[in-house]
Structure 1
């Protein structure tokens, strides 16, 4: 495909999992890709799997200077920035009674502040060319709230609000901002769940199966491309119908 031919995309938290699947979908669609990840070596290894049109850059999304450096790496190496995906995230699950203040702060910081940093620095560059697409990765947890995830659910709900606010601010600059809310997606993390927990989650999905990383990546490709040219401030649920 050539949906993103000539364009440059940055994906944070992209050394593995959903981030890498999105980066691969962008590269397959003709984009040059910058993989941002906390671990430099893993970012470089992931980029190597995508070929010469990809580079890996170390980035802690909580650090404003490092996110700015990530944007600068994209424009310095490839000359422009067309797509930015705020995907980096962590989990520190615990009940309200047992969750530490540090576990709460870390999750809010990485997801919410990280998304804010990515959005504002990407937008500053995109404004110069009066075009761009920002894709924020929220979660179904941000819609319904999950037991043991008061930090994660709050952060992911916050990303939805931030997406809508940024979309309103940036529309007249030709920049679109949209979000994806994945449901149960098959990954190393989710497959490590106890079988009882997995079966319970699966029973809540009308389509009767977990999603694949490629099924999130294809939606991220849609939002990054001109196929969604009249969409901004939207939240797309990719959940197999869970919690409609």
Structure 2
């Protein structure tokens, strides 16, 4: 099978794009550790899929001790062959109205958390001489959008962090890439009213929103050996959003 019982960590793995990626990885033969701060959803997903295939680890990506516990569990369960660095939060606020704590929370989760997960994974992958990391960026890392100062800033930083880590570890047998989704039909987006959802659809030349499994397909490709000559790259999975407007 594609992953042949390789071990993969998926952060933010209990719902949305993360959950879809967990399911795809298991179908492709991987053993997966679901890292998420939501204990209820994480344990339900672990129970549904089965502990022989997945393990849940309650994880705060902003806390170094919590990240270390995650990777200690992963080493015991399946090894660290791949990481989908997917945990993140959205935020809508004008720049001048941002409170310090709100800004810092987005930065801590979307950027510093991505770095802490990558740092812990890279240390283990370097020892074994192999590994693949995929960071979840966003179309909003490629251009600005009003009301998204913190989110856009962190996603732009994730893109350049990805490139830097790829260069640093290309000689260690480790690949580091990113995937940039467009607007995807996740539970958070489903909370929006129909008028807003219809408007978001029009922004994608393909004529619809993305589905979580479509981003999972992109992430698992980059994690797999099929992408063996790809590192430091970003894969846009955005329905043509960033290609331009007709």
Shorter-chain TM-score tier: over 0.9
The CA RMSD over aligned residues, in Å, is 1.1
- Structure 1 stretches of 5 or more lacking a match? none
Q: 1:65: Cα distance to partner?
A: 1.1
In 2, Cα distance between the equivalents of 1:98 and 1:195?
Answer: 27
In 1, Cα distance between the equivalents of 2:204 and 2:89?
Answer: 24
Counting only pairs closer than 5 Å after superposition, residues 11-90 of structure 1 correspond to structure 2 as 11-51=10-50, 52-78=52-78, 80-90=79-89
Q: 1:60: Cα distance to partner?
A: 0.3
Q: Contact 1:163 / 1:177 at 8 angstroms: preserved in 2?
A: yes
* SS of equivalent to 1:97: helix
* SS of equivalent to 2:21: helix
Runs of 4+ in 1 over 3 A off after TM superposition: none
Q: 1:43: Cα distance to partner?
A: 1.7
In 2, Cα distance between the equivalents of 1:146 and 1:108?
Answer: 17
* SS of equivalent to 1:134: strand
- Corresponding position of 1:96: 95
Q: 1:49: Cα distance to partner?
A: 2.2
For normalisation by structure 1, the TM-score amounts to: 0.96
Q: Contact 1:204 / 1:243 at 8 angstroms: preserved in 2?
A: no
In 1, Cα distance between the equivalents of 2:192 and 2:125?
Answer: 40
- Corresponding position of 2:201: 202
* SS of equivalent to 1:4: coil
Q: Contact 1:10 / 1:33 at 8 angstroms: preserved in 2?
A: yes
For normalisation by structure 2, the TM-score amounts to: 0.95
